[in-house]
């Protein structure tokens, strides 16, 4: 459908809580397609609707080597354990941090056909679900940092052949 701009911190929409979707209609399908297109264009693992300025509880997730998933009104219903993970965000470009996420989560949502979906996830999928559902609640991964020193700038790689040196 469309690749939309991704709002970046400190934009206020990232701190607002998204509203539940009450009915499935063409506008929800369009938002779902736009989320997937925007996420894929940015080469992200996940994207929440408020990151593109839409305060509806819709997320898209795409793990490597898998098809994209769209979840409507997702919520974590159970979780267990703790593990440290390195996390980054399309709305906080150029930075990453070490935070604590669950070892596994159980979530429920609706899919694009309005079917009830139950998910038990671990690893990257569990992390992505927690990250994107946090977005829907106005929470950024930086809020989980124990110390601000753990937020580190990602150094961009460059090819030395492309750098001109003056003699």
pLDDT in tens, 39-66: 999 999 999 999 999 999 999 999 999 9
Confidence of residue 159 (pLDDT cuts 50, 70, 90): very low
pLDDT averaged over the chain?
A: 91
Residue 148 has pLDDT above 60, yes or no: no
Q: Residue 79, Cβ neighbours under 10 Å: how many?
A: 17
Closest CA to 79 of 49, 46, 50, 108: 108
Closest CA to 108 of 144, 73, 142: 73
Cis preceding linkage at 164, omega within 30: no
Active-site annotation holds for 132: yes
Entry pTM: 0.89
| Cβ proximity of 60 and 31 under 8 Å | no
Confidence of residue 164 (pLDDT cuts 50, 70, 90): very low
User: 19-23, 83-87, 98-102, 149-153: which range is least confident on average?
Assistant: 149-153
Return the pLDDT at 158: 43
User: At residue 159, what are phi and psi to the nearest 5 degrees?
Assistant: -90, 120
- Among candidate residues 132, 146, 157, 161, the one labeled active-site is 132
Dist CA 6 CA 42 (whole Å): 9
Dist CA 64 CA 73 (whole Å): 23
Return the pLDDT at 145: 85
- Would you call 77 exposed, middle or buried from its count of C-beta atoms within 10 A (0-12, 13-18, 19+)? exposed
What is the DSSP pairing of strand 83-89 with strand 104-110?
unpaired
Residue 68 has pLDDT above 80, yes or no: yes
């Amino acid at each position: 459908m469309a690749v939309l701009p991704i709002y970046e911190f400190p934009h206020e929409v990232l701190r607002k809580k998204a509203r539940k979707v009450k009915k499935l209609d063409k506008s929800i399908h369009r938002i779902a397609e736009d989320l997937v297109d925007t996420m894929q264009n940015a080469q992200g693992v996940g994207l929440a609707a408020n990151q593109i300025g839409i305060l509806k509880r819709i997320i898209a997730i795409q793990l490597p080597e898998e098809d994209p998933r769209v979840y409507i009104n997702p919520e974590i219903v159970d979780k267990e354990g703790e593990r440290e993970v390195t996390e980054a965000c399309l709305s906080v470009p150029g930075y990453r941090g070490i935070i604590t996420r669950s070892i596994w989560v159980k979530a429920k949502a609706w899919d694009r056909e309005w079917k009830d979906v139950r998910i038990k996830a671990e690893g990257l999928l569990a992390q992505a679900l927690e990250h994107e559902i946090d977005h829907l609640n106005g929470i950024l991964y930086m809020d989980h940092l124990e110390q601000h020193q753990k937020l580190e700038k990602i150094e961009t790689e460059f090819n030395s052949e492309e750098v001109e040196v003056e003699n």
